[in-house]
Amino acid sequence: MARDYLSEYENQQSILIRNQEALEKLLQDAIESYSKIEASDVDKKEIRLNIARQNIARRQNALNIITDKLRFIRPGNEEDTIYRGRQYDEFSKKIENLVSDDLPLRFHGCPIYTAERIIFAGELSSSVDRLGIETSYDVSDQVSVTTRKTIETTVRGYADLAENQSLPAGCIFVLLPKDEMDARAGDSMLMGNVNFKQNPERLYAIITTPENFERVCGWCNANGVSSSKVYDYDDFIKLFDKQDILTEGSTLGK
């Protein structure tokens, strides 16, 4: 029996709209709570205000995610589903087997709407620095990444390949550490923030699905990021058929 992508899409859209309405109310409640504390003479006022600010930030971030999903949601299709499933199953092992230890690539996966924000900002930074709240394993001045040996965590947990076929897949940003210390941090699944407008050599690639390819290239072209670094999964793997690519960019700190 053929998969009913249109019904899945309509159901997901309906859920998102309901969640958006609920979060809008929760956000307004948090703003009103902050205003009441600000106008009061309660004990430990600054501590209470800080907690209230954090609550507003969390609810605003949750609402932004729902709003972003509603911008990108569309009916899935069988070709995209098959492609994503194949990458979910095969891509991590290919990277582990093909990428040399001499090339210290770091991988950061995110949903498509987060990739848009990263490209527009020209920087991959921690959620603490961007939002003032923790949303992942990030801490201030550092982002969560994986190596060629741990990339399965990125592919299966953060690239949005399998979670919801009514939304486009996400992107994987492929980065180079700035120095040996930054490289060693990758063993702990961390690296420093990367401003790839200021340091374009540290952005090795952006990997996404064929559906997203032109869209992501457009974002790059509009924001001073080289669209030549955008690949779909299969084309990124093809890079490593060329032995000279294995050591390209491997000198740290340049």
pLDDT at 133: 59
- Shared domain check, 91 and 158: yes
What is the percentage of the chain residues whose pLDDT exceeds 90?
82
Select from 22, 39, 72 the last residue of a domain: 72
Query: Which structural domain range is residue 124 located in?
Result: 78-247
pLDDT at 130: 62
- Shared domain check, 96 and 53: no
pLDDT at 128: 63
- Shared domain check, 90 and 20: no
- Shared domain check, 126 and 207: yes
Quickly state the pLDDT bin for 223 (edges 50, 70, 90).
Answer: very high
Residue type for position 82: I
The single residue listed with the structure tokens 């087997």 is 97
- Shared domain check, 220 and 179: yes
Q: How many angstroms separate the first and last alpha carbons of the chain?
A: 55
Quickly state the pLDDT bin for 136 (edges 50, 70, 90).
Answer: low
Whether 167 is covered by a domain: the verdict is yes
Whether 231 is covered by a domain: the verdict is yes
pLDDT at 1: 76
- Shared domain check, 30 and 50: yes
- Shared domain check, 103 and 36: no
Indicate whether 138 pLDDT > 70. Answer: no
- Shared domain check, 117 and 21: no
pTM, 2 dp = 0.88
Quickly state the pLDDT bin for 161 (edges 50, 70, 90).
Answer: very high
The residue-averaged pLDDT of 157-163 equals 95
Whether 43 is covered by a domain: the verdict is yes
How far apart are alpha carbons 209 and 231 in whole angstroms?
A: 8
pLDDT 10s digits, 169-180: 999 999 999 999
Whether 182 is covered by a domain: the verdict is yes
Whether 254 is covered by a domain: the verdict is no
Query: What are the angstrom distances between the C-alpha of 60 and each of 63, 133, 134, 178?
Result: 5, 11, 13, 33
pLDDT at 150: 96
Indicate whether 243 pLDDT > 60. Answer: no
Whether 104 is covered by a domain: the verdict is yes
- Shared domain check, 38 and 86: no
pLDDT at 166: 98
pLDDT at 127: 67
- Shared domain check, 10 and 95: no
Indicate whether 135 pLDDT > 80. Answer: no
- Shared domain check, 47 and 103: no
The residue-averaged pLDDT of 165-192 equals 93
Whether 252 is covered by a domain: the verdict is no
Whether 214 is covered by a domain: the verdict is yes
Query: How many distinct structural domains can be found in the chain?
Result: 2
pLDDT at 247: 42
pLDDT 10s digits, 48-77: 999 999 999 999 999 999 999 999 999 999
pLDDT at 245: 43
Select from 72, 88, 123 the last residue of a domain: 72
Indicate whether 239 pLDDT > 70. Answer: yes
Select from 29, 56, 72 the last residue of a domain: 72
- Shared domain check, 233 and 131: yes
| CA-based nearest residue to 155, from 192, 209, 202 | 209
